[in-house]
Amino acid sequence: MRLKNKVALITGGSSGIGRESAILFAQEGAKVVVTDINDEGGQETVRIIQDAGNDAAYFHADVAKASDCAAMVEFAEETYGALHILFNNAGIMHSDDGNAMSTEEEVFDLTMNINVKGVFFGCKYGIPALQRAGGGSIINTASFVAHLGAATPQIAYTASKGAVLSMTRELAIIHARENIRVNALCPGPLRTELLMKFLNTEAKKQRRLVHIPMGRFGEAKEMAKAALFLASDESSYTTGTEFLVDGGITAAYVTPE
């Protein structure tokens, strides 16, 4: 039980990385608070966890709102007595996100509000809770596009994930001597609903796949296992990292056909 006696809060827990991480964290002994704006999906995640005999609770939260982030942290502490793991995972990849010329200001602002301010608000209210618990782990979902330009234009998303990565580094340094670790999980292209909606033609999918040395999209379960390492005491000397789990895409110069 790698997370025994730990309390974890996971944003964006209704599907994808968030759901798989919530299920895995609970299997490893954590009490899990699942948050999302998709109440049906979030509650289904909690049911899956509870049906397996593990402990979880759902809380509706829009991470773009400071008040919701403050409330979700308060809920975690009131429900389970503490908070040890904060996984700022919620994010969007808007279908109208393109290049600088085609992307509307509203799309850019919405993306930044959720993907960047959502992490900021999570940390703003979550870090005091981790301090009260004597320390813990924060995981922020960034992306391989924080390192590389995306072959399919997604200017707002790419900019937002670069911001998450740099914010993670600074938070890690600020809180390193408080027994609080802060790391960025940087997934490669995944076979999730979020990306498949964006890469909505076979041509778009192939344009992304040709760059991945492994020749396939990653799976949300694979990201959950990486997040588990960062959440657990096994990563006790790991902070400020860019944990790339990307099928080799950022290491590739020329990929095999």
CA distances from 11 to 41, 98, 120, 222 (A): 12, 25, 13, 18
Q: Choosing from 58, 157, 237, 253, which is the catalytic residue?
A: 157
Contact 244, 188 (CB under 8 A): yes
Q: How far apart are CA 33 and CA 59, in angstroms?
A: 7
Q: Is 237 a catalytic residue?
A: no
Backbone phi and psi for residue 47, each to the nearest 5 degrees, phi listed first: -60, -40
The candidate with the shortest Cα–Cα distance to 178, out of 140, 142, 138, is 138
118, with CB counted inside 10 A (0-12, 13-18, 19+), is: buried
Contact 55, 81 (CB under 8 A): no
Contact 130, 138 (CB under 8 A): yes
Contact 87, 139 (CB under 8 A): yes
Catalytic sites, residue numbers: 157
